Structure 1
Amino acid sequence: MSLTASGRDIDVFNGDADGICAVHMWRMAFPADAELVTGAKRDISLLKNLNAASGDNITVFDISFDQNVPSIRRLLDAGAAITYFDHHSASNRFEHPRLSLHWDEHPKVCSSILVNNALEGRYPEWAIVAAYGDNLNDVARKWAEKIELTEHQSGQLCELGKLLNYNAYGESLADLHFHPALLYAEVSQYKDPFHMIDEASAFRTLQRGYHSDRLYLNSLNPAETGKDAILYVLPDQSWARRISGEFANQLTADHPLKSCAVIVPKANSAFVVSIRSAKPDQLPANIFCERFETGGGRRGAGGINVLPTSELDHFVRQFFQYFSG
């Protein structure tokens, strides 16, 4: 596969574990001094402020296609070539001679798995890290067994994936321990994820932060519980914003038969919501979240970036109605 271009190389990626691992694998296979465009977990319209010219090569990882369609068309019209890897909603996808779209919305696929498939399985350990970070624990364990990792090694990759993912959550970059571009720069120094676990100071920083934030969860109780769903409202604190995604993932493990919602206050009288579906095939999370203006995601996990306070009661009713099937 040739990626030669006369213009710039630009990498656009979600700041979570899946996005970071995806771009890392791609650039190990195809080194380039690429410009980086990234942000916190909820910064999904990353192409909006990107300008490009003919000959530019843009590679996008783990960013919702549907949320960026106008920008994608604009960049293609400007003459750029786009390679796109994603597993979120792409109902508005289209074909173009300069667009190479690697997309799959299957609940057991993440963007890093798509990248690893495109690279013919060259970096399975990093795909496992990403799968664990994206809460695809069964998928990650099967891959770990396939490449004959020990249970201890699989557990190490699980912790790394969850920590990379934990760092991405926050209302703004100020909530994060590391800007995702800086965390990617740290990750990119390691071809072997086990070396990062052993050597990287960023791993220790995230480990300490994660365990500190988790202590607050001991005092939480659900705001509402139903037969098939459970809902939590977290306080307006930085720790709550940071831990919200991993807390939602934990709830799926603790309550595998219940769909869950984790709601965290935002500024300006609004909330951000994380959704996990217990039945992604029958009750996709993204389909529910797309009922709301800033909602989206994938079948197993979705979210609403801005839920106005005036819509909170309506959301709660709709959530329990939808996930009661």
Structure 2
Amino acid sequence: MDSISESKPVCYDIFNGDADGICALHQLRMAFPQEAIEVTGVKRDIALLEKIQVRAGDHLTVLDISLDTNVDALRRHLDAGAFVTYFDHHEAKSAFQHPRLEMHWSAARDVCTSILVSRFLEDRYVMWAIVAAFGDNLIHTANGMCMQQGLTWVDRGQLQELGKLLNYNAYGEQLSDLHVHPAELYREVHRFANPFDFIRSSPHFLALQFAYAEELTYLNDLHPVEVRKQSIIYILPDASWSRRISGLLANKLHEEQREFSFAVLTPKTTGGYVVSVRSAHPEAKPASEFCSSFPQGGGRQLAAGINHLEVAEVEQFFRRFFEYFEDI
């Protein structure tokens, strides 16, 4: 920061480190190239606006992180004179209007942040929005977009795998859990205008493909800790691979057994658990509504989570989870 002129406004690209955040920023920067300071982290590290200090005239591009979680920092940066462009698809109960805030938001079930960016850019780079949609487990939406683009089933399979792997890399308690730092992965993605070229040419794709295939074998020994008529809970072992695979396991379970709602609890090295929840009935029983009832919870109707659940709260979590998702 010392090398930045005191009089020159600073640009920040602040993005979720998962497939959606990376693909959203990639599209924007292909359309509007700009030097910026990148601020990102693991998928659950969403209080990213707290990590910067701004001055009047600075510009923040914010992608795929909850406004509700960042609302205090957002107001502080706007009060300091910063300009903010915000794209997101999570719940935003704290949303507000401001002359220096440009908000592109929707909590519709069939959108992710990259789709919102793609629409803003008139689908100029829609292939990357498809990758993100697959990564966010919006399979029906992504397949529909593939049909509109005339893609073959082989093409769809490749884009789905890429989205899955970009998302897989983002899961972890801390950056050291990840195979590739999200900022580095974004820069690698940004070398390729076409996702199929990334798949064919990037060593990062092969590395993530190999790592995912290896860790997927660990799931063969997993069993749920409790099963009810309409909902199931898993608790993963305390291991680095658990923290990397937890979110994709929740997506995988949802895809394979859509009639069930799922919770996946993953131990944290500092104690307690991080929780991934998937709802079988997202409109009647939104996962976001359930998770938001916990202090560090939130998300979307279909997929939500809790960033920290104390060990002493697990029994209460089980009771509330089954009360909520069994009452259909």
2:137 counterpart of 1:106: no
2:152 counterpart of 1:181: no
Letter of the 2:60 partner, please give it.
I
State how far apart, in whole Å, the 1-side matches of 2:162 and 2:220 are.
Answer: 23
Counterpart for residue 174 of structure 2: 172
Letter of the 2:306 partner, please give it.
I
After superposition, the C-alpha distances for 1:234-293 in whole angstroms (9 at most, x for unaligned) are 000011110111110000011101110110111233000000111111111111001111
Counterpart for residue 200 of structure 1: 202
3-state SS of 2:129 partner:
helix
Between 1:265-274 and 1:200-209, the stretch displaced more is: 265-274
Q: TM-score, normalised by structure 2?
A: 0.97
Equivalent of 2:157, from 155, 158, 163?
155
Counterpart for residue 193 of structure 2: 191
State how far apart, in whole Å, the 2-side matches of 1:323 and 1:212 are.
Answer: 33
What are the residue-to-residue correspondences of 1:9-158 with 2, within 5 Å? Answer: 9-158=11-160
Letter of the 2:206 partner, please give it.
R
Counterpart for residue 253 of structure 1: 255
State how far apart, in whole Å, the 2-side matches of 1:280 and 1:53 are.
Answer: 41
State how far apart, in whole Å, the 2-side matches of 1:49 and 1:125 are.
Answer: 31
Give how far 1:6 is off: 5.9
Counterpart for residue 285 of structure 1: 287
3-state SS of 2:277 partner:
strand
3-state SS of 2:274 partner:
strand
3-state SS of 1:101 partner:
strand
Q: TM-score, normalised by structure 1?
A: 0.97
Letter of the 1:96 partner, please give it.
H
Letter of the 1:17 partner, please give it.
A
Aligned length: 321
- Following TM superposition, the consecutive aligned residue runs of length 4 or more in structure 1 with deviations greater than 2 angstroms are none
3-state SS of 1:106 partner:
coil
State how far apart, in whole Å, the 2-side matches of 1:253 and 1:43 are.
Answer: 25
Letter of the 1:276 partner, please give it.
R
After superposition, the C-alpha distances for 1:189-234 in whole angstroms (9 at most, x for unaligned) are 0000000000000000100110011000001111111111111100
State how far apart, in whole Å, the 2-side matches of 1:320 and 1:40 are.
Answer: 29
Letter of the 1:317 partner, please give it.
R
- Provide structure 2 residue ranges, at least 5 long, that are not aligned to the other structure: 1-6
After superposition, the C-alpha distances for 1:50-92 in whole angstroms (9 at most, x for unaligned) are 1111111100000000000000000001111000011111001
Give how far 1:162 is off: 0.1
RMSD between superposed Cα atoms in Å: 1.0
State how far apart, in whole Å, the 1-side matches of 2:124 and 2:286 are.
Answer: 31
Give how far 1:124 is off: 1.0
Counterpart for residue 311 of structure 1: 313
3-state SS of 2:40 partner:
strand
Counterpart for residue 219 of structure 2: 217
Counterpart for residue 3 of structure 2: none
- Provide structure 1 residue ranges, at least 5 long, that are not aligned to the other structure: none
State how far apart, in whole Å, the 1-side matches of 2:47 and 2:11 are.
Answer: 19
Give how far 1:298 is off: 0.8
Report percent identity of matched pairs: 53
Letter of the 2:208 partner, please give it.
L
Give how far 1:8 is off: 1.6
Letter of the 1:245 partner, please give it.
G
Give how far 1:7 is off: 1.4
